[in-house]
Amino acid sequence: MIANGSISNQTNVFIEDEITRIIFVYVSPCVIFIGTVANILSILVLSKKTMRRSTTMFYLLILSSADLLVLYTGLLRYWIIMAFDIDIRLHSDFICKLHAFLVYFSLDFASWILVAVTMDRCISVMRPLKARLCCTTNVSKVIVVILFVTMVFINSHLFFTVEIISRNRSKPTCQEADATFVFVSKIWPWIDFAVFCFVPFGIMIVANSLIIHRVSASVKTLKNMTVDNDLGRSFGSVYTRRTSFRSSHISGEDSDQISTITETCENQNGFSNDTVNKTVNNNSTRLQTSTNVTVMLLSVNFVFFFCTTPIAIYFIGQHYWETRDVHPHRIAVQNLAYGIVNILQYLNNSVHFFLYCITGKRFRNEFFKLFARKRRSAVFQ
């Protein structure tokens, strides 16, 4: 049976058992390999000077590092168990406690870094002037430290509530201690669900809704500015042609007056068409950049919720549908269910690089520049 991340061995073999074995033995190392390469590439790109100036990119750099920790503390263990029948948690009681802590800590820390980057983006969009004070690299570093310490505190109970136990002469497993069984099996899953998934995603939903609303309003305003500028330029051109024809037959003060009227029509609200065009173009560029980053974060947030919610729900319901004596086929089905939600969870920590490349124009450009520079260096050498 699956209990706190352990997978049971059964005499009867069902098709569900074979699928579970395929997931952990063959799919897991692929996810680890892809996630390792992808996160290392993300770190290389996000570490560039041009990227480090942005607090958003700084948070994503930390997130890539946290994703690597998640893959190598969590998914790697399952692969070793299924492929070699070795559980590193059983090496000693301390390793049991430490590894359980690292798994929960890394997952929670990665989730809240995603919250931090979303809130950082929300403040930058909603309060750009205030963002100059609170959305700086130094402030971001402080926030990362606070999140680190907070996640350590929340998950530190695992050093006292988890240990190596052998119940009913069964194979030893790293699981909840007898004295803390109720807390770890029935209360902690709800706390973990709130910290790991529900609260972070709730904050992300609100923040992203505000961002989308503000960006949509900015797009509408920019379109109105463009239309007004085009109408003003067209009107000014027609009026200029008419007054130019008339001024050729008029001299002296009347000609100067007509020139003044023409200039007034061409310069709406005291700005020339060139100035308005430049302003509209600058705003358009900034808005496009903001929109690209917003789309990138929205995609990351959506994948996070899609990949993490199933396993959070699974752990909440696990001890409610489990019984001491169940049919072997039901055990096989539950093992398969756990295999699916588990690999889905770790998939979230492996695909961020691809989301950045697909939805983030700036990240994509910097990635291509990174390899273009290396290619040029190789040619000259």
Q: Three-class SS of residue 101?
A: helix
How high is the pLDDT of residue 13? 80
What is each CA distance from 288 to 53, 215, 275, 282, 346, in whole angstroms?
18, 10, 20, 10, 32
Q: What is the pLDDT of residue 313?
A: 87
Helix, strand or coil, per DSSP, at residue 244: helix
Phi, psi of 304 (to 5 degrees): -60, -50
The confidence score (pLDDT) of residue 286 equals 53
In the block, which residue shows the tokens 């042609």? 241
Contact 195, 154 (CB under 8 A): yes
d(CA 111, CA 192): 12
Question: What pLDDT is recorded for position 45?
Answer: 94
* pLDDT at 254 (0 to 100): 40
Query: Which among 56, 139, 146 has a CA at the least distance from the CA of 109?
Result: 146
**Burial class for 370, CB neighbours closer than 10 Å (0-12, 13-18, 19+):** middle
pTM of the complete model: 0.79
Check: CB of residue 331 under 8 Å from CB of residue 9: no
| Sign of the alpha-carbon dihedral angle for 150, 155, 160, 161 | positive
**Secondary structure (DSSP) of 120-135:** HHHHHHH-HHHHHHHS
Cβ neighbours of residue 25 closer than 8 Å, sequence gap 6 or more: 79, 82, 83
Q: Could you tell me the end-to-end alpha-carbon distance of the chain, in angstroms, rounded to an integer?
A: 58
pLDDT in tens, the chain (381 residues): 333 455 555 556 889 999 999 999 999 999 999 999 999 999 999 998 888 888 999 999 999 999 999 999 999 999 999 999 999 999 999 999 999 999 999 999 999 999 999 999 899 888 888 888 888 999 999 999 999 999 999 999 999 999 998 876 678 899 888 888 889 888 998 899 899 988 998 999 899 889 888 888 877 776 666 555 554 555 444 444 444 333 333 334 343 443 433 444 344 444 455 554 554 444 455 555 566 777 888 899 899 989 998 988 888 887 776 655 567 888 888 899 999 999 999 999 999 999 999 988 889 999 998 877 655 555 445
Query: Tokens in use for 302?
Result: 């959506």
